[in-house]
Structure 1
């Protein structure tokens, strides 16, 4: 699959390309449109490899070349998707001012011209991303979902990982710190156990705060799963942390996964410190 990334200067095309690089896409930045077919042929013809290219779109001629390129790719049956990255003028001008490459007057004139020249390209795009409103990670996920053919309404998997803050933080869509729950570590009979053991889990959920937290997390993850599914996103990263990642976070993770499965929501579970 080939991902072609077009759009406006400072809209975030290169940042999106870097995100796709992190997902093992072969990448090339700022390529003239008519040079793209040779690059694709050099990397398996777009079928054996995942390829992402930001195409040069700074002139009307570039826009015309890009339209010729997409017509050629369709004729050759090379699988590709066209992504158009944009942003509001205020944000684009602010990013340019920080870079200082183009004067403000020249940048305003350039944007006025590009909005006219690139409108036909934008109209052909399979996905339009406005970087005013989404993070680079969200942009990447939307592009990958597009490449994989996911559509809104497909089930979203809730990926729940327990972890210990002692060994470093975790990143995700939802981070929950459960260190406010009394720690089984300080009960000598429970210390050797983990949150997977019934005695330890019973202790954790012997507190109203734990039970209310589980109920709230279950409802929140249910809402998020529906919203993510409507956006065509394949997964939600939920991270639950305690001090050592052995007792409280593990017990909450296991119980949350069971609750979500009972609601027919796909779940994947990982215990970072145990596994």
Structure 2
């Protein structure tokens, strides 16, 4: 039997994850009151009941004794129930944006609608602290597309592949449009010759082979990529060990269309060919800017 508890921040993607798991064949129950969790677990754990995959969604709503959930999870594990905890998270900035778009009241503010969204988020994070410590899987949906979330859930709960706690985003950008605000590591590749000044390459991008061939024809390009790849392969295991969930590696050139795109593409391919202990995706922020 597989018993998955889905919880996390309101607006972090819990409902979406539950619906996706339901599509994958899980029997799903959402918003079950805390005091019914143990009884529900006992009922679904009965042998030969025809249910082999269960998802239970739990929200940290105002008025519920959510602080008891961590203890309940411990108790169920001690009884031998194969319980797994999926914690859906997102940055404060993303959560605020999502709530402003939907105009919903944050669940932690229902008894005091005068409180700011930020207050509700801070209160919820505090309430969820102990449950998050018990999470088997933490997925930060801040930058995930719907299809990327579905792929991650499918990999964990359908294909039963190893869970990658860290998602690395390789992001190209143009300095003329500003450094990405969410970048963790920023690398400047403007030391490489600029294809923009070559007529045949000016209106192409680093996604086109002629530009790639030009940029990679310089020895400095290969040397830089070797050193950068080596450094990231050294750093990433440390980030995973420290519990980091998102790492944005930003590669910048002047306009974000030639050199940075070429380097980002190559770096992505190199990291993707690694040991698979982290998730990785590729984004080009400014590649479609007018040239």
Match 1:115 to one of 125, 135, 139 = 125
> Partner of 2:145 in structure 1?
135
> Partner of 1:42 in structure 2?
43
1:230 aligns with 2:230: no
1:151 aligns with 2:162: yes
Cα drift, residue 57 of structure 1: 1.4
Q: Residues 166-185 of structure 1: matches in 2 within 5 Å?
A: none
State whether residues 4 and 52 of structure 1, in contact with CA within 8 Å, keep that contact through their aligned partners in structure 2. yes
> Partner of 1:17 in structure 2?
18
State whether residues 86 and 135 of structure 2, in contact with CA within 8 Å, keep that contact through their aligned partners in structure 1. yes
Cα drift, residue 3 of structure 1: 0.9
State whether residues 13 and 85 of structure 1, in contact with CA within 8 Å, keep that contact through their aligned partners in structure 2. yes
Q: Residue 27 of structure 1: SS of its match in structure 2?
A: strand
TM-score, normalization by structure 1: 0.51
Output the CA distance in 2 between the equivalents of 1:60 and 1:142.
33
Decide whether aligned partners of structure 1 residues 76 and 87 sit closer, same or farther in structure 2, where only a CA change above 3 A counts: same
Segment drifting more, 127-136 vs 141-150 = 141-150
State whether residues 8 and 114 of structure 1, in contact with CA within 8 Å, keep that contact through their aligned partners in structure 2. yes
Q: Residue 116 of structure 2: SS of its match in structure 1?
A: helix
> Partner of 2:58 in structure 1?
55
Cα drift, residue 39 of structure 1: 2.5
Output the CA distance in 2 between the equivalents of 1:75 and 1:110.
33
Residue-by-residue CA offset, 1:13-70 (whole Å, 9 max, x unaligned): 0001011011011001122233223333333449951111111213485431211220
Segment drifting more, 59-68 vs 27-36 = 59-68
Match 2:91 to one of 88, 91, 99 = 88
State whether residues 4 and 81 of structure 1, in contact with CA within 8 Å, keep that contact through their aligned partners in structure 2. yes
Output the CA distance in 2 between the equivalents of 1:62 and 1:31.
12
Decide whether aligned partners of structure 1 residues 140 and 63 sit closer, same or farther in structure 2, where only a CA change above 3 A counts: farther
Decide whether aligned partners of structure 1 residues 28 and 86 sit closer, same or farther in structure 2, where only a CA change above 3 A counts: same
Output the CA distance in 1 between the equivalents of 2:65 and 2:59.
6
State whether residues 45 and 81 of structure 2, in contact with CA within 8 Å, keep that contact through their aligned partners in structure 1. no
1:106 aligns with 2:116: yes
Decide whether aligned partners of structure 1 residues 29 and 5 sit closer, same or farther in structure 2, where only a CA change above 3 A counts: same
In structure 1, list runs of 5 or more residues that go unmatched: 154-218, 234-275
Q: How many residues align?
A: 168
Output the CA distance in 1 between the equivalents of 2:156 and 2:6.
13
- Pairwise CA RMSD: 3.4
In structure 2, list runs of 5 or more residues that go unmatched: 106-112, 165-265, 281-291
State whether residues 16 and 136 of structure 1, in contact with CA within 8 Å, keep that contact through their aligned partners in structure 2. no
Q: Residue 6 of structure 2: SS of its match in structure 1?
A: strand
Cα drift, residue 104 of structure 1: 8.2
TM-score, normalization by structure 2: 0.49
Cα drift, residue 116 of structure 1: 1.6
